[in-house]
């Protein structure tokens, strides 16, 4: 399903300096309505990237690095204009400094950290997922500022929310 179309640009940090080693994921469709990963790219030392080849349609770009917010850009339209035989869309992106949520999932008496738990941090449409380590520790990084609902679950356990709340309605938000 690939065509001859590309999305390229330069990724910079808050001060305008290029950011290298940033992953860019292009998914056909809108945020959280994924039809499958279509292409990936990675920035070079000068912050430049090129993702493709792609078909001519709308994509959501997910731009991820551990030092900055996870940036989502919806509805990047990839079309092949008559004057451009390459069909390249130029997209400059400036990243913002990201935050993190970390903690530990514990169970039993005395309480011990438990591994392989699925932990989600949710703020509106933004969702970040991680798993606990063997000692129960988790980290959700590169998060934009906001209030998050943190939940964990695994087979054989009831879903649990931050501050030992039993359901989403009573969950304590983490800012």
Name the pTM for this structure: 0.53
SS (H, E, C) 18-67: ECCCCEEEEEECCCCCCCCEEEEEECCCCCEEEEEEECCCEEEEEEECCC
What confidence tens digit (pLDDT) does each residue in 15-56 have? Answer: 888 888 888 888 776 443 344 557 888 889 998 988 888 777
Q: What is the mean pLDDT of residues 83-105?
A: 70
More confident residue, 118 or 75: 118
CA 116 to chain centre: 20
Supply 69's token pair. Answer: 């917010």
| pLDDT for 167 beyond 50 | yes
Which residues contact residue 57 at a Cβ distance below 8 angstroms, ignoring those fewer than 6 apart?
28, 77, 78
- Under 8 Å between Cβ of 151 and 159: yes
């Amino acid at each position: 399903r690939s065509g001859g179309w590309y999305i390229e640009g330069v990724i910079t940090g808050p001060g305008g300096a290029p950011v290298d080693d940033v992953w860019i994921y292009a998914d056909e469709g809108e945020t959280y309505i994924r039809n499958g990963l279509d292409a990936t790219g990675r920035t070079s030392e000068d912050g430049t990237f090129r993702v493709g080849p792609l078909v001519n349609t709308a994509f959501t770009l997910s731009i991820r690095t551990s030092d900055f917010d996870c940036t989502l850009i919806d509805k990047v339209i990839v079309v092949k204009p008559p004057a451009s035989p390459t069909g390249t869309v130029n997209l400059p992106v400036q990243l913002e400094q990201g935050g993190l949520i970390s903690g530990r999932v514990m169970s039993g008496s005395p309480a011990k950290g438990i591994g392989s738990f699925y932990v989600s941090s949710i703020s509106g449409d933004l969702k970040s997922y991680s798993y606990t380590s063997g000692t129960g520790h988790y980290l959700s990084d590169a998060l934009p500022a906001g209030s998050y609902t943190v939940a964990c679950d695994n087979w054989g356990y009831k879903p649990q929310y931050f501050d030992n709340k039993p359901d989403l309605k009573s969950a304590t938000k983490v800012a």
